[in-house]
Structure formats: structure tokens, C-alpha cells
């Protein structure tokens, strides 16, 4: 154990909405990537139940300040097992570097409860298909879903296709486990993109390898914003329902989560008037609304402090802030809600409530504020009614689909039936024009196309994973 680890002793007062947790295992799994297992202190189980793909926010008390960052849970969702988090050290990233260097077995931390809707559909069944898209450490929430799917009975499991981009073979996170996961492609097909070999993941390359499954699948995307945008444009053109498109994005990847790194916020000064208490609060340069409220003794709601969960949203009734926050729904934006963990006041702003006020400060909400809140609640009730109607229609649709007793082809059967993008032989698959195309990750008996000693041309030709037979003697490609 390290004697210089400042997180081994936690402060007496826990951050709001967080519980103490303990690291019980730590393992370096790839260059600058560490996997940690976290439990409720004194137990061997998860601190709280969760769904595969959800995330938690960790609070790391350092000698100077408490740092916050959100990380995906990559376990299969079994609450009797520890939480598993896989974290990549980011260059100049204050939190990830601190975590990678100082957090060890025995370290005590604070964590939020699991949150997020980047999870598998509740009605998942064998008639469905799922496409996962991950870049780098974006594999972490998706790995939890793949592990969960692996536990399904064969006749209950949907087909899954994984597109995964890494820099080099050594940078592939979970490489060995992915190698061993469904080597016969009964339910999972993998397409790997290695930029060091000239194979870059793009929307064009993804759709050329997805084929007829693109329009009917549920999509899970965890990668760069531009890639997400390109994929969503294509999915919209294919008329894929919005509820079938799931994307994951945390806020900044380096520095404190509540600071805006992309522009100078030093000139942003202002004040916050809280209608509920009648107080006017000053805002310091670079402070978000959340930090300013906390400095003045308020206890607003929050969880991730990174603009991902939406827990910290509050309503601005007058004035402007920047940014508003991408995790908000269009209706939230129209109603004046902002994410207080990201929003910086531009001049003077008025908010309906700042959360629990400091001791001795009375709640003296103006009638206008109360009327505004009632209006929001009314709008929310209408939205809930519409959502319930849509859900009922979805249940009827799924029920009628199940009555057909339809079961999609396996990946090998689909590949044989479909010429082009999902063909099982590399020579039959046309390369996308003006785009490097992906190669499947080396699997048992697989060889890279082009022959020779592994050299790559300017445009790489996709290799495929031949389906091995149980009686064949396979030789495994070099491990990643």
C-alpha cells in the first residue's frame, strides 16, 4: 500500500448524493489503461445494483480539492460482484492521471449511484439485432452489454455486431476476452479498425460492413462527436426510429469537469438571483452555477458533474448562460432548464431554485416562480401521457412481431445470404470508395489479406474471420 495516497482517508463530510466505496483490485490491462474493482466497504459486492452500460461518478479527495469524473461500469450487471471500471489515462487529464498513478487496492473513494440510459432495451429478444460502435475507451460501457448478452440462452439472444477502433493491436482494450467471445460467430461478429495499419473507422466504413441490419438494429455509439453525427445522419436517412439510436458522451476529457476548456471564461462575471429565497449571489470568474451555489452554502442536486446525467438541471427564468448542456431534452430547453454543472452565467441571471438553501435562509419563492414551476409540471404530465401512449404502441408492435415466431439468420447464414458488405470472404467484399476499410480482428485460423509479413497498403483490405469447425485444429493469431 502507498503511504502517500491522500485518498486513503476520506473527509468526514461526504459529497452530496454520494456513498463511500473501496477499491479491492487494480490491474493494468493495456498501455495507460487500468481496471479497478470497487465494493461497498466491508463487503465483496457492488456498492449498488446497476444495468450494463450505466456510469457512476467518482469523487477523489486530493490535498487541494475534490475532483469529480464519470466512468462507465463495464460489468454484466450482477450486483453480487464488484463494480468494474476501466479507465484510460488521458494526456494532461488531471483526474485520469491522478487515478492511474495514486489509486491502489485499499483506496477509499466516494461514488454516486449508477445512472444513465445507455443500456440494452428492456424488451430485448432473439428477433432483434444490435450494432455497437466504439472508439478507444468507448468500449467500456459496450463491454458490459456484451458480457450481459453472453449470459443469455442461445434461443433468447439477439444478433450483435461490434465495430471497434483502436490505434494499435496493443491498444485494444479487453483484447483477449473479445478474442474468446463467440469465436464461431453464432451471435457476435466483430470488425476491428487499427489506425496504425491504415484502417480508420468512419460512417462509410461502418455502414458498408453492416448491410441489411442497419435499418432494423438498435445502435449504441460511444466515440468522437463527429463520428456520432455522421452515423446519426445516415440512420435518419434510413428512417431508423430515434428510440433505436443510443449514444454516450461525457463532457470534458481532461481537467475538472466543471470547467470549460474550449474558451476563455475569465471575462464571464455576473450574479445569480434565486427566486425561491430572494438572495442575490455573486459568481466568480470560471465558476459554473453549480459551484457558485455550493460556495454560497446551497445544496443543489448533482451526480456526474460532467454534463452527462442531467441530475443538476435547474430552470433559468431570466438571463443567459453558456453552455446550456447537451443532455437536456428539447422540451427542457424550451422550458428554460440548463445543466448547472456546465452553465456559466453571462451577466446577471435569475433561477427558480438553487436546491436546499443554507441554514437560516428562508424559502420565499415569488408567486411568479411558483406559477412557472406549476407550468413545467403540467408540461411534464402531458409529456408523460404521450410517452405512455408510445410505450403502449411499442408493446403491441413487439407482441405482433413475436407472434410471427421470426428469428433472424445467424451471422454466418446472413453473410451467405447477403452479397457485398457482410460477405464471409474478403475477395467478395468491395472496398468503400475513397475510404480505408476495416479489418476483422485476428481470430482462430484467420490470416490478414495481402500475405507477407504484415505490411499494409495505403488502403487496407478487410480481412474476415472464417467460421471454424469444432473438429478443426486451429492456430491462434498473435494476441493483441
pLDDT digits (tens, 9 = 90+) for 131-143: 999 999 999 999 9
Q: What is the pLDDT of residues 401-415, one digit of tens each?
A: 343 334 445 665 655
CATH 3.10.20.30 placement within the chain:
270-367
Residue 13: the pLDDT is 57
Q: What angle do CA 45, 78, 105 make, to 5 degrees?
A: 40
Range scoring the smallest mean pLDDT among 92-106, 203-217, 359-373 = 359-373
Q: Does domain 18-112 have CATH number 2.40.30.10?
A: yes
pLDDT at 414: 55
CB 201 within 8 A of CB 135: yes
For the ranges 31-35, 233-237, 350-354, 422-426, which has the lowest average pLDDT? 422-426
Domain with CATH 2.40.30.10 in the chain: 18-112
Q: For residue 68, what pLDDT band results from cuts at 50, 70 and 90?
A: confident
pLDDT in tens, 213-234: 899 999 999 998 899 999 999 9
Residue 384's pLDDT is what?
43
| For residue 423, pLDDT beyond 60 | no
User: Which pLDDT value is given to residue 314?
Assistant: 94
Sheet of 129-135: strand order equals 188-194, 159-166, 129-135, 218-222, 245-247
Give buried/exposed letters for 302-328 (b at 16+ CB in 10 A, else e): bbbbbbbbbbbbbbbeebebeebbebb
Interval 263-276 mean pLDDT: 69
Each residue of 59-94: b (16+ CB within 10 Å) or e?
A: bbbeeeeebbbbbbbbbbbeeeebbbbbbbbbeebb
The top-level CATH class assigned to 117-257+410-480 is: alpha beta
All three cell numbers of 404: 410471427
Specify the CATH architecture of the domain 270-367. Roll (3.10)
* pLDDT band for position 327 (cuts 50, 70, 90): confident
- Average pLDDT of the segment spanning 337-364: 88
**What's the pLDDT at 406?**
40
Distance from C-alpha of 137 to C-alpha of 115, rounded to nearest angstrom: 19
Indicate if the pLDDT at residue 322 is higher than 50.
yes
The DSSP bridge partners found for residue 193 are 165
For residue 381, what pLDDT band results from cuts at 50, 70 and 90?
A: very low
Q: Which helix (H) or strand (E) holds 33?
A: strand 33-39
User: Is the per-residue pLDDT at 337 higher than 90?
Assistant: yes
Q: Which of 167-171, 300-304, 476-480 has the highest mean pLDDT?
A: 167-171
Mean pLDDT, rounded, of the chain: 74
Residues 6+ apart with CB under 8 A from 164: 132, 134, 135, 139, 172, 178, 190, 191, 192, 193, 441
**pLDDT tens track for 175-196:** 999 999 999 999 999 999 999 9
Q: Give me the pLDDT at residue 441, please.
A: 42
Nearest to 145 by CA among 168, 174, 186: 174
User: 0.85 exceeded by the pTM?
Assistant: no
Q: Which of 312, 265, 301, 263 is nearest to 284 (CA)?
A: 265
* pLDDT band with cut points at 50, 70 and 90 for residue 262: very low
CATH 3.40.50.80, the chain: domain bounds: 117-257+410-480
Q: What integer pLDDT is reported at residue 360 of this predicted model?
A: 80
Task: Give pLDDT tens digits for 110-126.
Answer: 998 898 889 999 999 99
- When pLDDT is averaged across residues 316-336 and rounded to a whole number, the result is 87
Sheet holding 108-112, edge to edge: 66-72, 55-61, 108-112, 18-30, 33-39, 83-88
Amino acid at each position: 500500500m502507498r503511504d502517500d495516497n491522500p485518498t486513503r482517508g476520506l473527509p468526514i463530510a461526504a459529497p452530496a448524493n454520494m456513498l463511500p466505496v473501496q477499491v479491492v483490485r487494480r490491474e493494468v490491462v493495456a498501455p495507460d489503461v487500468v481496471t479497478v474493482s470497487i465494493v461497498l466497504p466491508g463487503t465483496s459486492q457492488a456498492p449498488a445494483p446497476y444495468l450494463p452500460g450505466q456510469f457512476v461518478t467518482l469523487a477523489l479527495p486530493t490535498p487541494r480539492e475534490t475532483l469529480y469524473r464519470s466512468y462507465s461500469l463495464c460489468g454484466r450487471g450482477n450486483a453480487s460482484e464488484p463494480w468494474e471500471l476501466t479507465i484510460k489515462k488521458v494526456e494532461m487529464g488531471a483526474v485520469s492521471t491522478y487515478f492511474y498513478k495514486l489509486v491502489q487496492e485499499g483506496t477509499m473513494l466516494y461514488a454516486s449511484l449508477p445512472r444513465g440510459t445507455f443500456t440494452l432495451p428492456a424488451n430485448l429478444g432473439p428477433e432483434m439485432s444490435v450494432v455497437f460502435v466504439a472508439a478507444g475507451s468507448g468500449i467500456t460501457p459496450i463491454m458490459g452489454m456484451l458480457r450481459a448478452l453472453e449470459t443469455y440462452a442461445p434461443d433468447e439472444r439477439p444478433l450483435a455486431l461490434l465495430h471497434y477502433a483502436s490505434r494499435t493491436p496493443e491498444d485494444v482494450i479487453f483484447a483477449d476476452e473479445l478474442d474468446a467471445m463467440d469465436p464461431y460467430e453464432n451471435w457476435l461478429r466483430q470488425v476491428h479498425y487499427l489506425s496504425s495499419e491504415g484502417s480508420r473507422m468512419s460512417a462509410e466504413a461502418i455502414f458498408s460492413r453492416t448491410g441489411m441490419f442497419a435499418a432494423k438494429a438498435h445502435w449504441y455509439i460511444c466515440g468522437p462527436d463527429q463520428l456520432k453525427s455522421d452515423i446519426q445522419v445516415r440512420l435518419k436517412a434510413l428512417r431508423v426510429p430515434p428510440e433505436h439510436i443510443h449514444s454516450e458522451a461525457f463532457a470534458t476529457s481532461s481537467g475538472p469537469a466543471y470547467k470549460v476548456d474550449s474558451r476563455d471564461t475569465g471575462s464571464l462575471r455576473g450574479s445569480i438571483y434565486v427566486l425561491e429565497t430572494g438572495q442575490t449571489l455573486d459568481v466568480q470568474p470560471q465558476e459554473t452555477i453549480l459551484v457558485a451555489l455550493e460556495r454560497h452554502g446551497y445544496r443543489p442536486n448533482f451526480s456526474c458533474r460532467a454534463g452527462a446525467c442531467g441530475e443538476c438541471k435547474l430552470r433559468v427564468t431570466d438571463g443567459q448562460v453558456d453552455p446550456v448542456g447537451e443532455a437536456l431534452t428539447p422540451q427542457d430547453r424550451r422550458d428554460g432548464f440548463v445543466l448547472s454543472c456546465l452553465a456559466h452565467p453571462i451577466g446577471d441571471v435569475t433561477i427558480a431554485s438553487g436546491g436546499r438553501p443554507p441554514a437560516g435562509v428562508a424559502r420565499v419563492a415569488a408567486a411568479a416562480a411558483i406559477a412557472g414551476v406549476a407550468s413545467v409540471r403540467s408540461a411534464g404530465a402531458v409529456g408523460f401521457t404521450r410517452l405512455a401512449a408510445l410505450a403502449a404502441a411499442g408493446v403491441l408492435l413487439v407482441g405482433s412481431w413475436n407472434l410471427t415466431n421470426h428469428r433472424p439468420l445467424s451471422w454466418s447464414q446472413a453473410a451467405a445470404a447477403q452479397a457485398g458488405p457482410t460477405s464471409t470472404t474478403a475477395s467478395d467484399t468491395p472496398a468503400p470508395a475513397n475510404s480505408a476499410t476495416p479489418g476483422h480482428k485476428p481470430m482462430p485460423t484467420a490470416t490478414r489479406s495481402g500475405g507477407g509479413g504484415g505490411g499494409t497498403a495505403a488502403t487496407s483490405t478487410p480481412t474476415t474471420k472464417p467460421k471454424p469447425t469444432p473438429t478443426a485444429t486451429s492456430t491462434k493469431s498473435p494476441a493483441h
